[in-house]
Amino acid sequence: MSDIRRRRTFLIAAGSALALATTAACSSGSTSPGSGGAAAGAANKKVRLITGVKSDPFYITMACAAQAEAKAKGLDFTADGSAQWDVSVQRPLIDSVAAARPDGLMISPVDTSALTPSLRQIQSAGTKIALVDTSVTDPSVGITRISSDNEAGGRVAAKALAQEMRDKGSVIVISVKPGISTTDARIKGFTEEMAKHPHIKVLPTLYDNDQPATAASQIQSTLAAHPDLGGVFAGNTNTGQGIATGLKQAHKQGKVKVAAFDAEPDEVSALKAGTLQVLVAQDPAAIGVQAVDQLVDAFNGKPAKNQIGTTMVAITKSNMNDPEVSKYFYKSSC
């Protein structure tokens, strides 16, 4: 994500990938350079993927790309995910992996610390762990951590939203819950950037527990309490869906400007309809591909890259039909 202080600059920048990390990533659905068949050390290794929310198009896109890359590398790969973003729901999946003792585990932990003891135990038993999208605070867990530059993404959202709001009014962040590495970073970047806009009042952050219906209710309550509400930042896919629904029900779509993370099908439809004004799309496919490739390197005795950042793209109604932008739309199935 690049300098977009003025509206025209933003719209131009939004038409291309905004590389926010020093490590270049693959584009959606592609494999990394030199990713041919696996060497003997990686052939038939068992790799398991546990995503944050199984039905989330972000994670579906990641799983589809990882599956394709794993097949190309000759790995035994399966994917599963939580039914909802909750430690108690993800923990049994982790326990199942611990019992199976696969060679590799790709995981998006739903909490930065609660699951760490289980992950340490899996790692000490010989399973190589790749943290994808989200991470844990313990630096000893995982041979690699692959995600978007979420703090920078929050700054991009704030700049774009301030422009849409013409630098006045109130703005609110609605996100999932505290203690999630990715969304916490997005909120940090957003609030720090928005502090540079003194005529915009930042309201206290609300959390919807990843429930679109809750986000819809929260935005309607906020509208009633703050008639000057001019903008909303949605921390993730489900929140973006809920905000779009709530604004439509309140007949405020287009009047209250919305910047949302991700580019899942409902969000893309909302962008087209004018309910959302900006989508900050990640590249979950590249995250999945890179994680498989790093595990393969580790299986073959090569050092894994400790941190990998992937490309993010700002999508607007003006550029959404550009093939170089639309390729970042998320999938609902493989």
Mean pLDDT value of segment 79-92: 93
Q: Phi and psi for 18 in degrees, rounded to 5?
A: -100, 100
Whether residue 31 is contained in a domain is answered as no
Whether residue 22 is contained in a domain is answered as no
Whether residue 328 is contained in a domain is answered as no
Q: Cβ contacts of residue 196 below 8 Å, gap of 6+?
A: none
Q: What is the residue-averaged pLDDT of the chain?
A: 86
pLDDT of 112 over the 70 cut: yes
pLDDT of residue 23: 34
CATH of the domain at 298: 3.40.50.2300
Are 132 and 63 in the same domain?
Answer: yes
Number of domains in the chain: 2
**What pLDDT band is residue 192 in, cutting at 50, 70 and 90?**
very high
In this structure, of 29-43, 109-123, 159-173, 320-334, the range with the lowest mean pLDDT score is: 29-43
Are 118 and 206 in the same domain?
Answer: no
Q: 322-333: per-residue pLDDT in tens?
A: 999 999 999 999
Are 123 and 70 in the same domain?
Answer: yes
Q: 9-44: per-residue pLDDT in tens?
A: 333 333 333 333 333 333 333 333 334 444 557 788
Q: How many angstroms separate the first and last alpha carbons of the chain? A: 27
- Helix runs in the chain, H state only: 7-14, 57-72, 87-100, 116-124, 150-164, 181-194, 212-225, 237-249, 265-273, 284-299, 323-326
The domain boundary, picked from 266, 281, 296, lies at 281
Are 64 and 98 in the same domain?
Answer: yes
Q: Which domain holds residue 138?
A: 46-148+284-309
Q: 233-287: per-residue pLDDT in tens?
A: 998 888 988 998 999 999 998 899 999 988 989 889 888 988 889 999 999 999 9
Are 270 and 160 in the same domain?
Answer: yes
Beta bridge partners of 206: 174
pLDDT cut 90: percent of the chain above it: 70
pLDDT of 305 over the 70 cut: yes
pLDDT of residue 40: 58
Query: pTM here?
Result: 0.73
Are 200 and 225 in the same domain?
Answer: yes
Whether residue 276 is contained in a domain is answered as yes
**What pLDDT band is residue 5 in, cutting at 50, 70 and 90?**
very low
pLDDT of residue 318: 87
The domain boundary, picked from 234, 261, 281, lies at 281
Are 301 and 226 in the same domain?
Answer: no
Whether residue 28 is contained in a domain is answered as no
Are 12 and 154 in the same domain?
Answer: yes
Mean pLDDT value of segment 171-198: 93
Whether residue 64 is contained in a domain is answered as yes
**What pLDDT band is residue 105 in, cutting at 50, 70 and 90?**
very high
Whether residue 329 is contained in a domain is answered as no
Q: 201-244: per-residue pLDDT in tens?
A: 999 999 999 899 999 999 999 999 999 999 999 988 889 889 98
Are 210 and 137 in the same domain?
Answer: no
pLDDT of 90 over the 90 cut: yes
Are 63 and 135 in the same domain?
Answer: yes
Are 154 and 144 in the same domain?
Answer: no
Whether residue 315 is contained in a domain is answered as no
**What pLDDT band is residue 8 in, cutting at 50, 70 and 90?**
very low
Are 111 and 187 in the same domain?
Answer: no
DSSP 18: B
**Pair 170, 201: CB distance under 8 Å:** yes
pLDDT of residue 1: 35
- Residue 134 corresponds to which tokens in the numbers above? 């989200």
**Pair 70, 294: CB distance under 8 Å:** no
Q: Cβ contacts of residue 79 below 8 Å, gap of 6+?
A: 48, 49, 50, 51, 63, 66, 67
